[in-house]
Amino acid sequence: MDYPIWDVAMGGGVLMAWVAVTHVIVSHFAIGGGLIIVVTETLAVKRSDPELRELARRSSLVLILVSTVFGAISGVGIWVVAGLISPGAIAALIHNYVWGWAIEWVFFVLEIVAALVYYTTWDKISKGAHLMVGWLYFIGAYFSLVVINGIISFMLTPGGWLNSHAFWDGFFNPTYWPSVVLRTGICILMAVAFMLWSAFKAEADRRSEVVRYLGWWFVGGVVLSYAGYRWWEAALPDTVKALFLGEAPTLASLAATRSFTLWSLTLGLGVTVLALLLAPRLARGLTAVVLMVGAFGFFGGYERLREGTRKPFLIHSHIFSNGLLVSQIDQINNEGLAAHSGWVATGDPAPEAFGRRIFAAQCSSCHTLDGYQSIREVLPTVSDMELVAADDPPGSGAVHYRTQCSACHGEIGYEEMAEMLPSLDEIREDPEFIRELNLGMITMTMIELKEMGAELTAFDRGTTFDMRQLARPYMPPFVGTDEEAEALAVYLASLDSAVAGHAAGGGE
Amino acid sequence: MNTELIPALDAAGLPGPPWLFHFLLVFTFFLHLIFMNLTLGGTLMAFVAHLRGGRRLTDPNTVFAKRLMGVNTYAISLAITTGVAPLLFVQVLYQQYFYSGTILLGWIWFNMLVLLMIGYYAAYLHKKFRGPWLGVSAVTFFGIAMTHVAVHLIHVQPGKWAQFDTSALSVLGDPTYWPRLLHFVLAAITFAALVAAWWAVRRARAGDDIELNTTIAKTAWRWSLWSTVLIMVDGFILLGVLPKPVLLGVMRGGLAILGPLTISILFGVGLLMMLARVSNPVEKPGLVSGTLAALTLTIAVMTVTRHQVRVLYLEPATSQFQASVVPQWGNFILFAVLLVLGLATVFWMVRRVLTSPAEGDEAA
């Protein structure tokens, strides 16, 4: 929170999602592809099968183009974006796990060199030497996953690390092994989804056989993925499970994501059994597309669950995604955010401008003004009041109240609120009064968010926090002095007048 | 120095002594420079040679360009791969400055990835279709060099962050920006040209298309010679425009700082003499190999000097922070062992590949 802020209109989280999603798809394909291609070539050599050899050869071009180019660059891209949007958080991760990343880099070097050699030496070196390169490629690629998985899974389930802060306690965390199995399955799914396109180019008399061959790989990938996924769920702490599992999950959207995830895998399995195993002659481009949708859906769903259940932390129960350490909460509340960050302290001292800088430091890693997780959309506005009070057409006021207001006023029903509200004419006559009212509501929310910090610091730091106990389980607390909370409230309240055509708040 | 805008050190501390990370940063950056030089210098020269060769496929310039881009099939990938490690270690040592520098550049820093992607795929497209793609590659790689110099100069000058926050592009007006950029670009050209000359000499000496390879070797040699002349001039300009406290730091740095700098300058002069006394490198294969080895060594020493200059730039800021050290020796040893095993595996693999040529049914 003490770094300068990179203001991204679309939202840093969205940018990160784009870079990360494309990277994980490609990188998992690169690993699974490495396995299937080299096994296929081994079979081709043993059986003197030219069609399998061609499948391996054609697929290796895609492998080289996406793995060594796009995979490598987008992998660096994740660091670049993380450093831009969550510098404090990524610094914490790197200082704990630099040797993990350094080890992964060693395997990455082996992977990339082997990939380049593998692709460029078809028809030029002996079969044995070429197979050796292929297997080394797979070993390099797979072990880079085995290492990086320790860091990724640590972020959600740091386990014993919270107590000991010991490298290996975090690395071999509760979801480490389930994730290894799950990601191994995903690698195979990704690879088959891509390699089918190469299989379709096989000679007509062998095409069905080659397609069926990949079909069996996909089934194996589904089995591993499903087993790994269920193991992963079982290994999650109960407090995390409760967010999306059970009869009354805390986060309904994540529960829906879980259903989507498993149905996507079912779709992939169904298409594989029908179109790749039972009737491979029917397999066409559309089949590959549907299979890709299923595989990507499952993978994307799982990643969404992993990220969603980790919110609002970067490392669960240790550091929030805006870079705030749990251990810093009391200190910043006492000293103020301005004492902690020169970027907040420096500039116009007027409350609105000061609040804007506090918003940038504390909130902008998740919220944009008008894009993803728009802060303006969740703030109370004069127009909200008008719509609720007008109730025109009848019933629309209740709907608007439910969507815009009930998140904070859950204990008050629409009818009750309508009675308390001024009339539509009164609101239009004196909108400033409503803005004052809204400012009060926002200030109250800030205080509530600040009090959440006290609850967080009361948790046992050596265990995974039960975020369900908090009023807003997926938000970091507000940290800072009461004056800073008020300044932030003034800035947020001013966003309504900015829409109304008054002096626009900065930060846009 | 006003440290108000500098973020706090990470609470976790350094997972090893600072000297270890300084060493790893410099060492891995040197590895990165080798392949980065081939990529940047090779692509820029290939672009010029490609233009000079026109549509004549057998023109030595066209072959020269093709050969340079052939090397780049590997060099671009390896430049990225070897770039990961210094990117990691710079974040460990200089997180407060490096992240701030990249954030102040914002989209420009992010777009480096886009440029890299475009440049890389353009290099592949050039091989397949020729056309304008080589120019695209050259421009994007030059853009990446500009970005890196910008982020370097911003991150080492926290006293100017408020100014860069207002306009990140004002870094282009930094007196050291253009000499520093030129220094890197010229060094890249010199290195890539010498590698190309060395390769052409080897092939000519082996009796492979002697006339063509001699022409290519001479062309590449001339590129090396003139870019080295310019580097020497530019190097002294760069030294002269360094901020006064940094320059004084260099001058008063004793053997530790003046030693590497002096060696670099002497090596530069030596390189010039070696390059100038040969007009046909094919006749002096030993000298060509020696020149390439000397240049590689010069780059290694200059990498140390570059790092020392960074330390001097940042000294007023870093002296006000004391990083705690929480060493993870076991993990470091594991990394070191795996690094040795990994590199040994790579060498073994390459060796096995080079000694296993095959054709026809015997080939993979």
Q: Residue count of chain A, please give it.
A: 508
Q: Residue count of chain B, please give it.
A: 364
Give the closest of B5, B82, B353 to A133, CB-based: B353
B210-237: per-residue pLDDT in tens?
Answer: 999 999 999 999 999 999 999 999 999 9
Residue A83 confidence class, pLDDT cut points 50, 70, 90: very high
- Dihedral sign from CA coordinates of A7, A8, A10, A15: negative
Name the percent of chain A lying above pLDDT 90.
70
Pick from B115, B28, B126, B113: which is nearest to B72 by CA? Answer: B126
CA distance B331 to chain A (A): 6
pLDDT at residue A392 greater than cutoff 70? yes
Residue A373 confidence class, pLDDT cut points 50, 70, 90: confident
Put simply, whether A107 touches B (Cβ < 8 Å) is yes
**Residue A356 confidence (pLDDT):** 95
**Residue A506 confidence (pLDDT):** 38
**Residue A423 confidence (pLDDT):** 85
Put simply, whether A23 touches B (Cβ < 8 Å) is no
Peptide bond before residue A312 is cis, with ω within 30 degrees of 0: yes
Q: Which residue has the tokens 């509530």?
A: A448
Burial class (CB in 10 A: 0-12, 13-18, 19+), B363: middle
Grouping H, G, I as helix, E, B as strand and the rest as coil, residue A417 is: helix
Weakest-pLDDT range from A59-73, A483-497, B93-107: A59-73
> What is the mean pLDDT of the segment spanning B95-121?
95
Give the 3-state DSSP-derived string for A181-240, with helices as H, strands as E and coil as C: HHHHHHHHHHHHHHHHHHHCCCCHHHHHHHHHHHHHHHHHHHHHHHHHHHHHHHHCCHHH
**Residue A474 confidence (pLDDT):** 87
**Residue A499 confidence (pLDDT):** 52
> What is the mean pLDDT of the segment spanning A414-442?
87
Weakest-pLDDT range from A415-424, B26-35, B320-329, B354-363: A415-424
CA distance B246 to chain A (A): 25
Residue A502 confidence class, pLDDT cut points 50, 70, 90: very low
Distance (Å, whole) CA A161 – CA A169:
5
Q: How many A-B residue pairs are in contact by the CB < 8 A criterion?
A: 205
> What is the mean pLDDT of the segment spanning B141-151?
98
Radius of gyration of chain B (CA): 22
A256-284: per-residue pLDDT in tens?
Answer: 999 999 999 999 999 999 999 999 999 99
> What is the mean pLDDT of the segment spanning A65-85?
88
Give the 3-state DSSP-derived string for B181-223, with helices as H, strands as E and coil as C: HHHHHHHHHHHHHHHHHHHHHHHHHCCCCHHHHHHHHHHHHHH
Put simply, whether B73 touches A (Cβ < 8 Å) is yes
Taking an 8 Å cut-off on Cβ atoms, the answer to whether B83 and A94 are in contact is no
Name the percent of chain B lying above pLDDT 90.
91
B188-198: per-residue pLDDT in tens?
Answer: 999 999 999 99
**Residue A401 confidence (pLDDT):** 85
Which of B147, B345, B350, B362 is the best residue to mutate to test the A interface, defined by the most A CB atoms within 10 Å of its own CB?
B345
A182-226: per-residue pLDDT in tens?
Answer: 999 999 999 999 999 999 999 999 999 999 999 999 999 999 999
Distance (Å, whole) CA B92 – CA A309:
28
Distance (Å, whole) CA A98 – CA B99:
16
Residue A498 confidence class, pLDDT cut points 50, 70, 90: low
> What is the mean pLDDT of the segment spanning A135-155?
96
CA distance A280 to chain B (A): 28
Peptide bond before residue B316 is cis, with ω within 30 degrees of 0: no
B74-89: per-residue pLDDT in tens?
Answer: 899 999 999 999 999 9
Distance (Å, whole) CA A59 – CA A160:
42
Residue A85 confidence class, pLDDT cut points 50, 70, 90: very high
> What is the mean pLDDT of the segment spanning A381-400?
87
**Could you tell me which residue, B14 or A66, shows the higher pLDDT?**
B14
- Dihedral sign from CA coordinates of A173, A178, A184, A187: negative
pLDDT at residue B15 greater than cutoff 80? yes
Put simply, whether B111 touches A (Cβ < 8 Å) is no
Put simply, whether B12 touches A (Cβ < 8 Å) is yes
**Residue A501 confidence (pLDDT):** 47
pLDDT at residue B111 greater than cutoff 90? yes
**Residue A505 confidence (pLDDT):** 39
> What is the mean pLDDT of the segment spanning A298-323?
93
pLDDT at residue A230 greater than cutoff 70? yes
Residue A508 confidence class, pLDDT cut points 50, 70, 90: very low
Chain B residues with beta carbon closer than 8 angstroms to that of A84: 99, 102-103, 106, 109-110
Alpha helices by DSSP H, listed for A404-481, are 414-420, 424-429, 431-458
Distance (Å, whole) CA A403 – CA B222:
72
pLDDT at residue A410 greater than cutoff 80? no
Weakest-pLDDT range from A299-303, A496-500, B4-8, B27-31: A496-500
Structure tokens at A63: 């492998």
pLDDT at residue A452 greater than cutoff 90? yes
Distance (Å, whole) CA B282 – CA B293:
17
**Residue A427 confidence (pLDDT):** 87
CA distance A238 to chain B (A): 28
Taking an 8 Å cut-off on Cβ atoms, the answer to whether B364 and A88 are in contact is no
Taking an 8 Å cut-off on Cβ atoms, the answer to whether B358 and A101 are in contact is no
Chain A residues with beta carbon closer than 8 angstroms to that of B332: 99
pLDDT at residue B351 greater than cutoff 70? yes
B160-181: per-residue pLDDT in tens?
Answer: 999 999 999 999 999 999 999 9
**Residue A454 confidence (pLDDT):** 92
Residue A18's CB is within 10 A of a number of other CB atoms, namely 14
**Residue A504 confidence (pLDDT):** 38
Give the 3-state DSSP-derived string for chain B, with helices as H, strands as E and coil as C: CCCCCCCCCCCCCECCCHHHHHHHHHHHHHHHHHHHHHHHHHHHHHHHHHHHHCCCCCCHHHHHHHHHHHHHHHHHHHHHHHHHHHHHHHHHHHHHHHHHHHHHHCHHHHHHHHHHHHHHHHHHHHHHHCCCHHHHHHHHHHHHHHHHHHHHHHHCCHHHHHHHHHCHHHHHHCCCHHHHHHHHHHHHHHHHHHHHHHHHHHHHHCCCCHHHHHHHHHHHHHHHHHHHHHHHHHHHHHHHHCCHHHHHHHHCCHHHHHHHHHHHHHHHHHHHHHHHCCCCHHHCHHHHHHHHHHHHHHHHHHHHHHHHHHHHHHHHHHCCCCCCECCCHHHHHHHHHHHHHHHHHHHHHHHHHHCCECCHHHEC
**Residue A503 confidence (pLDDT):** 40
Q: Up-side HSE of residue B29: CA atoms within 13 Å toward CB?
A: 21
